[in-house]
Structure 1
């Protein structure tokens, strides 16, 4: 009996050892607001540095505001539309410039398509990803090593499951909600820090954030990772207020040139 128990323990240990460890999650958190609730996610900068930086830059310039989730396939994916053509408001020049950029395929055998991860959309060319991405509603091992996984949902999976209850229609391979699932507002904050992070440098540059809001990449696990709930809420509020201020300035420059 003891031998059997030992064998069971040894087997469990072997399974645990074989299981892939979770990738390090960035401290940056992006929030997409919808009428069904907020969807929040973070990035895997060590797994997909180019893609994580690209999506974060699109968020930081407000490109996803006014966009929508065009695909909701129950138990599979909820997919965000490409910002070029997906928004109900025109892109400004900066957003357009970022929106047409492409990113390469970035894959790792130990990072798999499981419920909650973010997977970059693309066409046949593996390096054709732009701004559309899927939020996994269930495991999809057939996508492993074929599509870039660049982050995961940290809050709001319940919101995505609400979307699975919407009435849908099929267009080719896509299962699409009949009602537009609008992303009415977006913002981001940095967990555990009162400072915001922006991407001011070119792809491939490396610079540590100095707390002044200037950096070229999404950070990984360096620094403090915990904070009181009140401080976290304060950081979220500050980040959103600053983002809204920047968005107002962009609109003002567009509408009142000179």
Structure 2
């Protein structure tokens, strides 16, 4: 039986999002819809949704895009369009890094994963969307969602030509990222 205090705690807890709508502009134009997997990675989903609700992802570029692999974005510190983006891909947010929430979900086309440094517990704000299967990532990176609409928009994102997939010139960007309930 649920104690009354626990019941009220559950009522007061913020509801997790069910998804994101990412408006993309640049070579790609359109909307990518993502179903967030809060049952798989609740801490990571909470981090992404809070950043999105605050507008932190708005006008953040896709700074690393590797054809046949993935498109990476979400550097809310150094990846804002219009600023000095020479450090894009090296930043995070003012929120703490996250402990890994690995699962048995495979990195197939359209899967959204959290980017991190070499430490498994270093994911913060950056994420990537898979163009193609990448099973070598399974159990090494946290899966946070799946694209449900807009794979054609994903496919049109400007590819990187620089070292390690860095986008040269003007990158595509997330104009806005909206949390859907």
TM-score range, shorter chain: 0.7 to 0.9
Counterpart of 1:170?
162
- Provide the C-alpha distance between the structure 2 equivalents of 1:189 and 1:126, rounded to a whole number of angstroms: 28
Counterpart of 2:102?
107
Question: Which aligned segments of 4 or more residues in structure 1 are displaced greater than 6 angstroms?
Answer: none
DSSP-derived class of the 1:46 partner: coil
DSSP-derived class of the 2:71 partner: strand
Q: Name the larger-Rg structure.
A: 1
- Provide the C-alpha distance between the structure 2 equivalents of 1:47 and 1:148, rounded to a whole number of angstroms: 9
DSSP-derived class of the 1:188 partner: strand
Counterpart of 2:19?
29
The yes-or-no answer on 1:78 pairing with 2:68 is no
Higher relative contact order (CA 8 A, sep 6+): 2
Structure 2 unaligned blocks of 5 or more: 1-15, 84-91
Structure-2-length-normalised TM-score? 0.78
Structure-1-length-normalised TM-score? 0.56
DSSP-derived class of the 1:58 partner: helix
- Provide the C-alpha distance between the structure 2 equivalents of 1:108 and 1:33, rounded to a whole number of angstroms: 28
Structure 1 unaligned blocks of 5 or more: 1-25, 91-96, 191-258
Counterpart of 1:119?
113
The yes-or-no answer on 1:183 pairing with 2:174 is yes
The structure that is strand-richer by fraction is 2
Q: Decide whether the 8 Å contact of 1:169 with 1:178 is kept in 2.
A: no
**Residues 1:167 and 1:133: Cα distance change in structure 2 (over 3 Å):** closer
Q: Decide whether the 8 Å contact of 2:73 with 2:126 is kept in 1.
A: yes
User: What is the RMSD computed on CA atoms of the aligned residues?
Assistant: 2.2
DSSP-derived class of the 1:54 partner: helix
Q: Decide whether the 8 Å contact of 1:112 with 1:141 is kept in 2.
A: yes
